[in-house]
Structure 1
């Protein structure tokens, strides 16, 4: 599979890692990256993250979209929606994105393209609590899942092309519609970030936790707390943008979580050893089903 010229619009952790993965697997391709800051441009050039790196203003002033065979938006969802409107009507290459929610992106694509088009949306289920081009890794996408979402009137050619592209990079793929995608991810990705962040704040605001953490030579944490708060250090701007485009699903998921927590609190007032044994068995089985193990 040959691609030619590839544009990655946005070179944070995901975009920069994708560029490195492409350079490893598609060695005949040329990757152009677009960044927001001069420091990112300088680092991208020095580390050879892409073949060319432009500031956004430089790119918009000096490049034609039509010189690229594949355009990938690696941006917050709201920025992706805005950039979709900039795609020329005569662009005939392939287009995808790495957006973590899909309803707004798919709506923007269907509004932009009234006839057959080559935009097939992607959500690679990978990443890190680290943020930025500095943490880019060429194996970030290997052995991970990529969710694909079809807008109306998307061409079969683009569906096959984008699917093959991700699979060559080492990903497994599954297609899920935009409505189902955003509801599922509110449970399996987005709510856990809120819960993890709340857990870190909730624990630290306890005065005795603060007091004895300060005097202890090492952190006073169990493995469970460490594991559950790992993602509390994720990129704040990125997650704010994700939450703002999936608010209704998040609210429903968190109310469901709250109801479950209230039920567990009520069980603490009872002598219910059997309940907890069965509850943790159920939790273990649920995890096994979700993890497919």
Structure 2
């Protein structure tokens, strides 16, 4: 499996790391990039991350066999609409979006019949963004979720699966709706909590943040993530996120009751159960 031309729509941390990875593995002859900042794209070209760039995403996609979407998920539909007439016959579109669900079906509906789409979500990244944080090994030993539907082309599914395996990822398939429930719980909810925890401590007293220890820094590391990116993720997965936030609030209210009642046994029980669950991650 080798592509003559790949287009990366969004040359940030994920897009640049993807370009570096497929180049390192010899999977592509030419990598084209597009994005909002010509300065960033020129830097990516000069660093050898991409071979060429165009500020017009449609022009960048001409003759590409593989198109990789790595912009904020809220931009996916507009990008597909802009680029669909430029996609060559048989081209494969895939992505790194953290939300699937209804978005997968919308993209399928927007694409011409001669273009194949396979949804993807590499579980890799950083709280930092931009090409300066990119690296070719970002996806190695990482999980990558593929979300095919009944309309998915079998050959395209195999190509995308093999590609991620070539980059060192462990590939699993999920239904788009299942993906959003799972990652709503283990990714989207924790990000919201980290963002809101930072704002809460600030509201208590901004000066307290200067006394942060490693525990607080570890817990809130993901609050350094892109606000634009996470805005789109939360809005597109609000169907799952809203009830999950309600359940989290229920746990907080229960804990507040234990504190008000000085119920030390219940507090310790809650902590012990959480510790047991945390220690069990990855043990199965």
Q: TM-score, normalised by structure 2?
A: 0.91
The answer as to 2:270 corresponding to 1:265 is no
Instruction: Determine the C-alpha separation between the residues in 2 that align with 1:28 and 1:269.
Output: 62
Deviates more, 1:33-42 or 1:271-280: 271-280
- In the alignment of these two chains, the number of paired residues is 282
Instruction: Determine the C-alpha separation between the residues in 1 that align with 2:115 and 2:151.
Output: 6
Q: Which residue of 1 aligns with 2:8?
A: 8
| Alpha-carbon contact 2:142-2:169 (below 8 Å) kept | yes
| Alpha-carbon contact 2:100-2:180 (below 8 Å) kept | yes
1:3-46 deviation line (CA, Å, top 9, x unaligned): 22111111011101111111111265321111211211221122
Q: Which residue of 1 aligns with 2:84?
A: 87
Instruction: Determine the C-alpha separation between the residues in 2 that align with 1:158 and 1:34.
Output: 23
Q: Which residue of 2 aligns with 1:216?
A: none
* Alpha-carbon distance change, 273 to 112 in structure 1, aligned in 2, over 3 angstroms: same
Name the SS of the counterpart of 1:50 in structure 2: coil
Q: Which residue of 2 aligns with 1:221?
A: 212
| Alpha-carbon contact 1:8-1:15 (below 8 Å) kept | yes
Shift of 1:50: 0.9
Match of 1:159 among 157, 160, 164: 157
Shift of 1:83: 2.4
| Alpha-carbon contact 1:118-1:158 (below 8 Å) kept | yes
The answer as to 2:39 corresponding to 1:39 is yes
Name the SS of the counterpart of 1:268 in structure 2: helix
Aligned CA-pair RMSD: 2.2
1:43-100 deviation line (CA, Å, top 9, x unaligned): 1122111121222x2x534x563x1121111112232122223324762022211111
Unaligned runs of 5+ in 1: 214-218
Q: Which residue of 2 aligns with 1:253?
A: 244
1:145-188 deviation line (CA, Å, top 9, x unaligned): 11110133211111111111101101111111111111221111
1:212-255 deviation line (CA, Å, top 9, x unaligned): 66xxxxx4123321111111111111111111211221111101
Match of 2:184 among 170, 183, 186: 186
Q: Which residue of 1 aligns with 2:71?
A: 75
Alignment map for 1:101-120 (pairs within 5 Å): 101-112=99-110, 118-120=116-118
Name the SS of the counterpart of 1:189 in structure 2: helix
1:94-119 deviation line (CA, Å, top 9, x unaligned): 22111111124212233235868621
1:110-146 deviation line (CA, Å, top 9, x unaligned): 3235868621110111111111122211111111111
| Alpha-carbon contact 2:102-2:177 (below 8 Å) kept | no
Shift of 1:292: 4.0
Shift of 1:276: 3.0
Q: TM-score, normalised by structure 1?
A: 0.88
Instruction: Determine the C-alpha separation between the residues in 1 that align with 2:32 and 2:88.
Output: 20
Instruction: Determine the C-alpha separation between the residues in 1 that align with 2:166 and 2:172.
Output: 15
| Alpha-carbon contact 1:81-1:104 (below 8 Å) kept | no
Q: Which residue of 2 aligns with 1:130?
A: 128
Q: Which residue of 2 aligns with 1:25?
A: 25
Match of 2:275 among 272, 281, 284: 284
Instruction: Determine the C-alpha separation between the residues in 2 that align with 1:30 and 1:14.
Output: 18
Q: Which runs of 4+ in 1 moved over 4 A?
A: 113-117
